Chain A
């Protein structure tokens, strides 16, 4: 069997180097760090007079300017900032590698939906006991506090940065010309979809590549995909009646070809908006700046209305995106790191910079006092769109929780949605598959799941 010789040689060589490799592995990943067990008392400031240097990673455009402001005013706590690619574009993988190697540094940006995954890797420090956090955490909306505590009393695993409450962007000019009002309920949305189709347009886009968008819509309808029992066992339920109602709603629109089904939040989408194909876009606050910069031809034509509701007069919301800044479990200065994070995402001057440079809609409830967020926007026909989002943010249901292997869940969803929009699957079946696959993946991680 000389065919197999190289393989066997490889195996033999591998065995020889195993010792080296194991040493390398254990040296890096053996010590899990203090994640999750940081006692409240352990978060102490460095002795007076010590100079502390922190590292901070994020992909918010222009965050360097916020950091510069901090560095000017805090000579003893200097922050070295690194701008990286988006989490799912490679940074989450880099984080995971760094956690394994014990080289995470001090502070990093993580979106809400990926927070449990890094908690699972024991990568996050509980900064709930740090004095600046304990004092200031109440300044953030309840739903974000739930998400960063995972329901643990007094725990804080990340400082909420920005939030993504859904609202309805719509082409006011087209709506006015057609004598339509933005839909208050999903029923109306479906009716208008038919009317708009008759006029040669599409009401919106079902984005197959943005499973977090679909998740936010299920969230709005009261879906609870991930819950934890009293014994700590996870339960996954992605095929509950609420989620299926949302799935069937969109399935009908897809089947009737009343919505676009192109990749969202990218050039393909901007082209479609530029061409005036889509009359509405279900989006988050951060979507505003994207539309504004990428679809200049829409200037003055767009407006923002509340997200349609499942029942007339309802006030339910969901969040798409939004992020936190975490203190890594390996940080030697959790106190200073937490102090910086609370400032960068709580202080009015910092929030104003984050909004100006990065288009962030701050999570902090003080955001409503920001001058920039109470100004009318010319692109949106003089509307003060941020008040719409502030209202929407108050309506986000605090009891929704994310799973610990969300990357995989999203992958399964987006693969399935891709097939669904190409007529090869049904949305409801995709959800069933995603649920089965998620349970399988969690079990492979030795997570207790019932």
Chain B
């Protein structure tokens, strides 16, 4: 490809059309399975196999199906939803705050062993999650806390990756001069962090939060090991359970599909909400 002409700052309509078409094609690829999910969740069980997967068939059953899923087994699905929001929301928020503090300290203070601490934290990213599950289970067994909300929530509050991002963003978006100025004003280090640094790092912290939120939302191995009581399950584990029971209760096949669709909705809402922070610039410093 050659570089387009250097004539004007206005965009060549061909480029605009080509780029948009390219993106539309891929949007089709990314959304087709989701579309399939919507279509399938709107069918009756009898129509599931009988009809083509990418178009509606028979009566539009989505509201009825959703009501069925929400009402099934005493509203179990809503409990799962609430659990997931708890685990991902609280876990994500705590993880982000804690990571922000650590990242800020690693970026803005020089102290002996700084790189060593950072390296150990990053090495945490390398460890397979499957390896951690059993030791964590034994740990929580020691204090008799397996099969509780805390058993899933507490380990979710740690995000080594978040520290990594927070360190980079703190270095980028919090000028040393500002910190010095605050010190001269007599602000404590903590106060400086919460009053100034957090605000400057906000867009970056939103990113950390979003990634951690989704990671917890999708985590399924830890809850599987920790929880026996199905009222404590997050959505992923709940849907997995339903999925494994389909042979015995084929109604659950439709429930899994409807449940999967419902489980995406909060994430999209969160994404749309958090997207606002990005528009003000992900690297806020860059936009001034």
Residues of A within 8 A of B (CB): 5-7, 9-10, 13, 21, 24-25, 27-29, 57, 59, 61, 82-86, 89-90, 93-94, 97-98, 100-103, 265-267, 271, 274, 289-290, 293-294, 358-359
One of B202-210, B223-231, B259-267, B274-282 at the interface: B223-231
Q: List 9 A-B contacts (CB under 8 A).
A: A9-B116, A9-B123, A10-B123, A61-B248, A82-B228, A82-B230, A274-B49, A289-B248, A293-B249
Contact B120 A293 (CB under 8 A): no
| Residues on A with beta carbons closer than 8 Å to the beta carbon of B123 | 6-7, 9-10
Q: A354 → chain B, closest Cβ, in Å?
A: 13
| A358 and chain B: residue at smallest CB distance | B248
Contact B146 A103 (CB under 8 A): yes
Q: A115 → chain B, closest Cβ, in Å?
A: 21
Contact A101 B228 (CB under 8 A): no
Interface-centre pick from B49, B135, B247 (highest chain A CB count, 10 A): B247
Contact A27 B228 (CB under 8 A): no
Interface-centre pick from A9, A13, A21, A358 (highest chain B CB count, 10 A): A9
Q: B129 → chain A, closest Cβ, in Å?
A: 14
Contact A83 B230 (CB under 8 A): yes
Contact B250 A293 (CB under 8 A): yes
A100 to B247, CA, bound (A): 31
Contact A90 B228 (CB under 8 A): no
* Neighbour of B225 across the interface among A85, A97, A102, CB < 8 A: A97
- Known contacts: A6-B123, A9-B123. The answer to whether A359 contacts B248 by CB under 8 A is yes
Contact A90 B141 (CB under 8 A): no
11 new A-B contacts, CB < 8 A, other than A25-B138, A82-B228, A100-B134, are A6-B123, A9-B123, A29-B138, A59-B245, A85-B244, A94-B228, A101-B138, A101-B146, A267-B246, A274-B49, A293-B250
Contact A265 B244 (CB under 8 A): no
A24 to B144, CA, bound (A): 12
A274 to B228, CA, bound (A): 35
Is chain B's interface secondary structure helix, strand, loop, or mixed overall? helix
B241 lies within 8 A of chain A by Cβ: yes
Interface string of B121-149 (1 = CB under 8 A from A): 01100000000001101110110101000
Q: A15 → chain B, closest Cβ, in Å?
A: 13
A322 to B245, CA, bound (A): 17
A181 to B257, CA, bound (A): 42
Q: B77 → chain A, closest Cβ, in Å?
A: 15
Contact A102 B229 (CB under 8 A): no
| Residues on B with beta carbons closer than 8 Å to the beta carbon of A61 | 245, 248-249
Q: B80 → chain A, closest Cβ, in Å?
A: 14
Q: B115 → chain A, closest Cβ, in Å?
A: 9
| B144 and chain A: residue at smallest CB distance | A103
| Residues on A with beta carbons closer than 8 Å to the beta carbon of B134 | 97, 100
Q: A406 → chain B, closest Cβ, in Å?
A: 20
User: How many of chain B's residues touch chain A, expressed as a range?
Assistant: 20 to 34
A21 to B123, CA, bound (A): 19
Interface string of B230-248 (1 = CB under 8 A from A): 1000000000110011111
* Neighbour of B229 across the interface among A5, A82, A86, A274, CB < 8 A: A82
A358 to B249, CA, bound (A): 10
Contact B122 A6 (CB under 8 A): yes
Contact A266 B247 (CB under 8 A): yes
- Known contacts: A83-B230, A97-B134, A97-B225. The answer to whether A24 contacts B248 by CB under 8 A is no
- Known contacts: A6-B119, A6-B122. The answer to whether A101 contacts B137 by CB under 8 A is yes
A271 to B50, CA, bound (A): 11
Contact A103 B141 (CB under 8 A): yes
| A61 and chain B: residue at smallest CB distance | B248
Q: A407 → chain B, closest Cβ, in Å?
A: 16
| Residues on A with beta carbons closer than 8 Å to the beta carbon of B120 | 6, 9-10, 13
- Known contacts: A28-B142, A85-B244, A90-B224. The answer to whether A97 contacts B122 by CB under 8 A is no
| Residues on B with beta carbons closer than 8 Å to the beta carbon of A59 | 245
Contact B49 A271 (CB under 8 A): yes
| B46 and chain A: residue at smallest CB distance | A296
Contact A101 B49 (CB under 8 A): no
Contact B49 A93 (CB under 8 A): no
Interface string of B208-224 (1 = CB under 8 A from A): 00000000000000001
| B137 and chain A: residue at smallest CB distance | A97
Contact A100 B138 (CB under 8 A): yes
Q: A435 → chain B, closest Cβ, in Å?
A: 28
Q: A85 → chain B, closest Cβ, in Å?
A: 5
| Residues on B with beta carbons closer than 8 Å to the beta carbon of A100 | 134, 138
* Neighbour of B228 across the interface among A6, A13, A25, A57, CB < 8 A: A57
| A105 and chain B: residue at smallest CB distance | B228
| Residues on B with beta carbons closer than 8 Å to the beta carbon of A10 | 120, 123
A438 to B101, CA, bound (A): 51
* Neighbour of B139 across the interface among A24, A89, A90, CB < 8 A: A24
Contact A84 B228 (CB under 8 A): yes
- 8 smallest CB-CB distances across A and B, nearest first, come from A101-B141, A6-B123, A6-B119, A89-B244, A61-B248, A85-B244, A10-B123, A28-B138
Contact B247 A290 (CB under 8 A): yes
Contact A24 B138 (CB under 8 A): yes
Q: B160 → chain A, closest Cβ, in Å?
A: 12
A59 to B123, CA, bound (A): 39
Q: B24 → chain A, closest Cβ, in Å?
A: 33
| A271 and chain B: residue at smallest CB distance | B49
Contact A290 B225 (CB under 8 A): no
| B45 and chain A: residue at smallest CB distance | A296
Contact B250 A294 (CB under 8 A): yes
| Residues on B with beta carbons closer than 8 Å to the beta carbon of A21 | 135
| A7 and chain B: residue at smallest CB distance | B123
| Residues on A with beta carbons closer than 8 Å to the beta carbon of B246 | 267
| B231 and chain A: residue at smallest CB distance | A82
| Residues on B with beta carbons closer than 8 Å to the beta carbon of A101 | 137-138, 141-142, 146
Q: A16 → chain B, closest Cβ, in Å?
A: 11
| Residues on A with beta carbons closer than 8 Å to the beta carbon of B225 | 93-94, 97
| B230 and chain A: residue at smallest CB distance | A83
A367 to B137, CA, bound (A): 40
Q: A112 → chain B, closest Cβ, in Å?
A: 19
Contact B247 A294 (CB under 8 A): yes
Q: A11 → chain B, closest Cβ, in Å?
A: 10
A89 to B225, CA, bound (A): 11
